[in-house]
Amino acid sequence: MKTDYLLPDDCRDMSEVRTGVDATDRELMALLDRRFGYMRAAARIKADRGHVRDEARKAQVIENARADAIERGLPGEKIAEIWELLVESSIAYELVEWDRIRS
């Protein structure tokens, strides 16, 4: 698949790096859009608003991200912090969607 940006190891100047970062940010936004789509689906499927928050699942998702980050040579604890915010934002979004669907 041809892209309009270079992979990190192929970059030779900051313009190429910035182009790659911007393209990656757009790809991340598309993935976040899909992830939040799953939150909309969960809000539609869950019959009980109290089931939106699942602390065991939250811990599992964050730990999975931390472990995956470490395996990739990334800063696991910082990635876990990012995932904490992502999961909490997802829960808040799902609650809003749960209420919207049933209002």
Give the DSSP letter string of 33-86: HHHHHHHHHHHHH-S-GGGS--HHHHHHHHHHHHHHHHHTTS-HHHHHHHHHHH
Q: Which residues are annotated as a binding site?
A: 18, 35, 46, 94
Q: Which fold has domain 8-102?
A: Chorismate Mutase Domain, subunit A (1.20.59)
Q: Which residues are annotated as a binding site for substrate?
A: 18, 35, 46, 94
Quote the tokens at residue 14: 């900051």
Q: What is the pTM of this model?
A: 0.92
Q: Find, among 103, 1, 99, 3, the residue nearest to 43 by Cα.
A: 99
Residue 101 to residues 14, 40, 60, 89, 94: CA-CA distances in angstroms? 46, 9, 27, 18, 10
Q: State residue 2's pLDDT score.
A: 79
Structural domain boundaries in the chain: 8-102
Q: Give percent above pLDDT 90 in the chain.
A: 97
At 50-86, the pLDDT tens digits run 999 999 999 999 999 999 999 999 999 999 999 999 9
**Binning pLDDT at 50, 70 and 90, where does residue 17 land?**
very high
